[in-house]
Amino acid sequence: MLSSQTLDVGAQVYSFDPRTEKIRHLGDLTEICGEKGLKAIPQNKSHVRFWEANDKLYFASHIGYYTIKNGMETPGVPPPGYKPYPGGHFLSYDMATGKFKNLALAPHNEGIIAMTMDPARGRLYGETWPTGYFISYDLHTKQLKDLGLYAALGESVRGPIYRGGKRVAGKIVALKGESKGEEDLHLITYYIPSGKYIDHGAVFFPDGQRPREVNSIAVGLDGSVYALAAVDQNGHDRTDLIRIPGPISSH
């Protein structure tokens, strides 16, 4: 997937065959989503892992055209003559026929920034950006569910950090994709049978530091949660593998 940040070009989807070393263009992501000629902010990228099941690849689309407000990336404001971003899509690609299928549109005109799949139950789960709605799609019933907000208002707002009772000021200007200041990292679980969320609270190292720049997690067989995080060592940043010991209660 080659991303785009322009208003008139969507992401381009390719395949690579390692045996023949040939690259093949599969399509334009905006067209795959059925939005060709819509004159709206396009589907600029996919921000998720591709999942393989039943000879198909499952993935989701995301926005890549932004407007910077107060140093933060926000969904792009459409210029005159263009419509707002329609929202991210759950999609599939049939590897046998070479055909894409548009499965569902995310609610609230938000992109899908993260996705996982439960192949046994035939369900896709996603997280929208910037507000942070938790959504699911059932491949059998073809039903999309909005499971609600799981982190206040997500990245559409930034909660302050307090130290010693005083608010810690962030950067006035930040690089693209960079946080403007310290943020709490929360571990959240969602128990599928009951649909219950649990916020297990902010994560801290023994010395009081907060893990920074955590973009993904992996769960071990014992239920431990692993991630790569930036940490400070004598005034210098380094990236370490961190572990939150499991099992973690979901009840």
Tell me which H or E stretch contains 30.
Answer: helix 29-32
Predicted TM-score of the model (pTM): 0.81
Tell me how far apart the alpha carbons of residues 59 and 56 are, in angstroms, rounded to a whole number.
10
Residues of the chain by 3-state class (helix, strand, coil), percent to 5: 5, 45, 50
The tokens describing 219, both together, are: 């769960």
Cβ pair 117, 91 in contact under 8 A: no
Q: Which residues contact 157 (CB under 8 A, 6 or more apart)?
A: none
Nearest to 112 by CA among 70, 57, 75: 75
Cα separation of the two ends of the chain: 38
pLDDT tens for the chain, 251 residues long, are 999 988 989 999 999 999 999 999 999 999 999 999 999 999 999 999 999 999 999 999 999 999 988 778 899 999 999 999 999 999 999 999 999 999 999 999 999 999 999 999 999 999 999 999 999 999 999 999 999 998 777 676 665 676 676 767 666 655 555 566 678 889 989 888 888 889 999 999 999 999 988 888 999 999 999 999 999 888 898 999 999 998 888 77
DSSP-derived 3-state class of residue 31 = helix
For the chain, the structural domain boundaries read 12-158, 184-251
